[in-house]
Structure 1
């Protein structure tokens, strides 16, 4: 969900929703946008997505502690034509109680390990939980004391996992005089914060993934009040020494897309593809979009 720093702008409306996004560094190709809707009360609010390596199956998580999964139907050009549900679950806490929307049930980030373990990051009560089975209670993961001071609704929307099972997460807002995102790492059963990423007051971190190239992809949002949302994607080389080689991938224009919050990066056989999903905040004026681009170099 958008954070507390909404800005209501008084500038005239200058940017057309049909304008093309601006790009830098990487060469990308727009694949398409699919609007997904179901007539179910708990459908919407999607803040995390994982696409399988073959691009044909998915998991999505909403910010009301609901997870769904299924198959993706694509046309001959690889564009999404339908999202076919196969199952869903209401996430539980470690005691087996179904999580309610709000402080305890604000699930935001989704990461799936190579062995199928599902990890979910939460805002409100900022934490990360492990699910070996989404129909069973969560496995509680101890959190660092520093997380207690994170302001409400500024927690961990972005969550990624490396090939060796290391988790990486960062809060929604950059902090400090240098406006950097502190990046937390979970490995060998404990958390530390050895890394940071350059940020700005303009952009909030809302999604992350490790691509098939081993690089770290960060989805960010800029909420512009009445002018709507902007999105951008940056990627970084990641190693035990931290992040380097920052590379802008794309930056959308205002109102070009809805509130993109989740990102999954995979290889479609022709290049690395980025699939993003929007959080409609359960509002009739917004919609659930899946937006896809292919990185050509």
Structure 2
């Protein structure tokens, strides 16, 4: 997340050692792994993608940095994450992205392993075909120009037909719903909206291997962060059967912003999430995994 609110969190984060009651709905916490690295570029992770049965990780930071890594596991526990490479995300002109233009937030990996990235400082979606290559910015409709400056495209997902879906963190329809924008390869449309509930704001989205649409949401509380995970079945461009899979109290997790839904070797449905530490010493990078119901 573009860190305009970072200073406002410092006093609250001093108290995040306290954990409030947590409500878990048919899910199971598998692991909380604290990922540490001393490199100056490390941190600020806003999106994650898990591949190869849970062994490979792709992440981006909100300072336009792409990271690939190998996850070492012992059963359901992560015992280490080995960084394989890291690259700056380049503009369409081949320049390193900085400031608002470099506020990269969401990631979607296509079937050809190319990557789409959403940005919220300057509202846009870009296609990134290979590491260290220039991005191609998708056409931007007029609606994108009027979105909240620091509350647009934190979330990005891709369905099994290769269509992209993005949703806004703060901008809402006149009725207060969360608009969903879809790119079908030639044009943008708004096929459906999602209900906004309470103070939670969407920060990541994913189509799971079960075909359902998952949205990770975050709320900033006085003593830290709260996390909520919802999912829907999308039938004829209509969201149905809304479920709340996870809703935590403050302080259980750090600032979870990235989400990946995948099946492990036992065909169990998993959610892997990563936190944005805002490059603050008071926060930390967590990789959190839950077992989800089918």
TM-score scaled by length of structure 2: 0.92
Give how far 1:173 is off: 1.7
The equivalent of 1:22 in structure 2 is 23
Show structure 1 runs of 5+ residues with no match.
Answer: none
Map residues 59-208 of structure 1 onto 2, 5 A cutoff. 59-75=58-74, 77-100=75-98, 102-173=99-170, 175-176=172-173, 178-200=175-197, 202-208=199-205
User: When the two structures are aligned, how many residues end up with a matched partner?
Assistant: 290
1:260-281: CA deviation from partner (whole Å, max 9, x where unpaired): 0000000112421000000000
Contact (CA 8 Å) 2:64, 2:89: kept in 1 or not? yes
1-structure distance, mates of 2:61, 2:31: 22
2-structure distance, mates of 1:16, 1:270: 34
TM-score scaled by length of structure 1: 0.91
2-structure distance, mates of 1:188, 1:94: 18
1-structure distance, mates of 2:5, 2:61: 22
Give how far 1:117 is off: 1.2
Give how far 1:232 is off: 0.4
Give how far 1:296 is off: 3.3
Contact (CA 8 Å) 2:35, 2:287: kept in 1 or not? yes
Contact (CA 8 Å) 2:2, 2:62: kept in 1 or not? no
2-structure distance, mates of 1:177, 1:140: 28
Give how far 1:294 is off: 0.3
SS at match of 2:102: coil
Give how far 1:53 is off: 4.5
Contact (CA 8 Å) 1:53, 1:267: kept in 2 or not? no
1-structure distance, mates of 2:178, 2:52: 29
Higher helix content, 1 or 2 = 2
1:165-185: CA deviation from partner (whole Å, max 9, x where unpaired): 110000102524532100000
Contact (CA 8 Å) 1:262, 1:276: kept in 2 or not? yes
SS at match of 1:275: strand
SS at match of 2:54: coil
RMSD of equivalent CA atoms: 2.3
SS at match of 2:91: coil
The partner residue of 2:256 within 256, 260, 283 is 260
Give how far 1:253 is off: 1.0
The equivalent of 1:242 in structure 2 is 238
